[in-house]
A and B are shown apart, each in its own frame.
Chain A
């Protein structure tokens, strides 16, 4: 079935966006990314370490995976805009996963700084994919600011707690004119399937794969879950009923 994901005018076949943090080695990461079928994957921007061997960029280039730099670790709009500019210069992409976090304990987005950064980056010509809280009003404001997608958390980054407020995610999906991408909180494959069944356009995850006992197996599970959840959303679930309804004919 031809059902592409379109973000900022670009088409993707896979609806699973991967992060690369937390993998024990580049080799493990490489096999997990291959198993996930992802076409878009995040990286962070950090000071060059002259002693580090191997590069996640080489790995992504070899796999033909599009790179999505993030602004992880930024606490203010000013910092995030500067990191995005560095990423654009280093990687030759104007796409950015915008992260502006409020504190280290929860890593929750700072909505005020996030919106300010989004407005500035859109004005600077970036394709902005903001990591946001599960607040439909903030999502609307980010869309109005010109973001190419909105990426609400299901639960705090790395928590694996799943989707804590599915109702809010549904509200966002109902009203958004840009893709809603469930970002953060996925713990296992069923969480990813639920995100897609709620109508999310894609899922972004890292920890649940990279820190799994077998990242490669979990990556494949996520690929299948995202695809299954998407089909279930398109297929349309039956209404819940209070009482039984025979599925075999009563007569004959």
Chain B
């Protein structure tokens, strides 16, 4: 299935969790937030959140700014 992660299309085999999608980008144990189709998902729910075809995932962290 295809999901978009931080604006890039990824082909993933079915049954992928949000935790697995985030792990494609970072292994940081904290300081990261994820949203699926605009809705923030708490870290504790990443493993239990299954992704679906055409989901849009955003994975953000803090960078220098302001």
Partner-B contacts on A (CB < 8 A): 19-23, 26, 29, 42-50, 52, 55-57, 67-70, 72, 82-83, 85-87, 89-92, 97, 99, 206
Looking at the assembled complex, report how far the CB atom of A175 sits from the nearest CB atom of chain B, in whole angstroms. 27
Chain B residues closer than 8 Å to A46, beta-carbon distance: 60-61, 63, 65
Decide if A48 touches B26 in the complex (CB within 8 Å): yes
Greatest chain A CB density within 10 A among B6, B58, B65 is at: B65
Looking at the assembled complex, report how far the CB atom of B4 sits from the nearest CB atom of chain A, in whole angstroms. 12
Decide if A43 touches B40 in the complex (CB within 8 Å): no
A87, B58: Cα distance in complex, Å: 12
Interface of A is mostly: mixed
- Within B41-66, the residues touching A (CB, 8 Å) are 42-43, 58-66
Chain A residue at minimal CB-CB distance from B6: A47
- Within B6-48, the residues touching A (CB, 8 Å) are 6-7, 25-26, 28, 30-35, 38, 40, 42-43
A47-B6, A50-B25 in contact; A82/B35 too (CB < 8 A)? yes
Number of residue pairs A-B, CB distance < 8 angstroms:
99
Partner of A19, one of B26, B34, B61, B65: B65
Decide if A85 touches B61 in the complex (CB within 8 Å): no
Decide if B62 touches A91 in the complex (CB within 8 Å): yes
Chain A residues closer than 8 Å to B65, beta-carbon distance: 19-21, 42-44, 46, 70, 72
Looking at the assembled complex, report how far the CB atom of B29 sits from the nearest CB atom of chain A, in whole angstroms. 11
Chain A residues closer than 8 Å to B59, beta-carbon distance: 47-48
A48, B40: Cα distance in complex, Å: 15
Greatest chain A CB density within 10 A among B25, B40, B59, B64 is at: B64
Looking at the assembled complex, report how far the CB atom of A63 sits from the nearest CB atom of chain B, in whole angstroms. 14
Partner-A contacts on B (CB < 8 A): 6-7, 25-26, 28, 30-35, 38, 40, 42-43, 58-66
Chain B residues closer than 8 Å to A92, beta-carbon distance: 30
Chain A residues closer than 8 Å to B7, beta-carbon distance: 47
Decide if A48 touches B64 in the complex (CB within 8 Å): no
Chain B residues closer than 8 Å to A23, beta-carbon distance: 64
Chain A residues closer than 8 Å to B34, beta-carbon distance: 89
A92, B42: Cα distance in complex, Å: 11
Partner of B60, one of A55, A68, A72, A86: A86
Beyond A48-B25, A86-B60: 17 further Cβ-contacts under 8 Å? A21-B64, A44-B63, A45-B33, A47-B6, A47-B7, A47-B59, A47-B60, A48-B59, A55-B31, A55-B62, A72-B65, A82-B40, A85-B33, A86-B33, A89-B42, A90-B62, A97-B66
